Structure 1
Amino acid sequence: MLVQLNLKPDTKQLRQFGFIALGAFAVIGAVVVWRGGLFGLNFGDAARPVAYALWGLGALSALFSLVVPKANQALFVALVTLTYPIGFVVSHVVLALLFFGILTPVALFFRLTGRDPLTRRFEPERESYWTDLPEVPDTKDYFRQF
Structure 2
Amino acid sequence: MLQINFRPDERMLRQFGCLCWLLLSVLSAYRWWRDGLDLIAVVQQLAAVSLLLLAILRPSFLRPLFVAWSIAAFPMGWLVSHVLLFVMYFGVFWPTGFVLRLCGWDPLGLRTSGSGSLWQDRPPASDLRRYFRQY
What TM bracket, shorter-length normalisation?
A: 0.7 to 0.9
Structure 1 position 25 matched with structure 2 position 24: yes
1:43-89 CA distance string (max 9 Å, x none): xxxx9323322222221111112111101112211211122222222
With over 3 angstroms needed to count, the CA separation of the structure-2 counterparts of 1:111 and 1:59, relative to structure 1, is same
With over 3 angstroms needed to count, the CA separation of the structure-2 counterparts of 1:122 and 1:54, relative to structure 1, is farther
Q: Distance in 2 between matches of 1:127 and 1:90?
A: 44
Which amino acid in the other structure matches residue 70 of structure 2?
V
1:61-120 CA distance string (max 9 Å, x none): 111121111011122112111222222222222222211211121011111011123444
Counterparts of residues 37-116 of structure 1 (less than 5 Å): 48-116=38-106
| % identical equivalent positions | 29
What TM-score results when the alignment is normalised by the length of structure 2?
0.76
Q: Distance in 2 between matches of 1:52 and 1:74?
A: 24
With over 3 angstroms needed to count, the CA separation of the structure-2 counterparts of 1:108 and 1:127, relative to structure 1, is closer
Structure 2's unaligned 5+ residue stretches are none
| Deviation at residue 34 of structure 1 after TM alignment | 4.9
What TM-score results when the alignment is normalised by the length of structure 1?
0.72
**8 Å CA contact 2:13, 2:55 repeated in 1:** yes
With over 3 angstroms needed to count, the CA separation of the structure-2 counterparts of 1:89 and 1:138, relative to structure 1, is closer
Aligned residue pairs total 132
Which amino acid in the other structure matches residue 51 of structure 2?
S
Q: Distance in 2 between matches of 1:71 and 1:108?
A: 55
Q: Distance in 1 between matches of 2:120 and 2:6?
A: 52
**8 Å CA contact 2:2, 2:78 repeated in 1:** no
Q: 2:107 aligns with which of 93, 110, 117?
A: 117
> RMSD between aligned alpha carbons?
3.0
Name the residue aligned to 1:42.
Answer: none
Q: Distance in 2 between matches of 1:61 and 1:138?
A: 63
Q: Distance in 1 between matches of 2:81 and 2:2?
A: 12
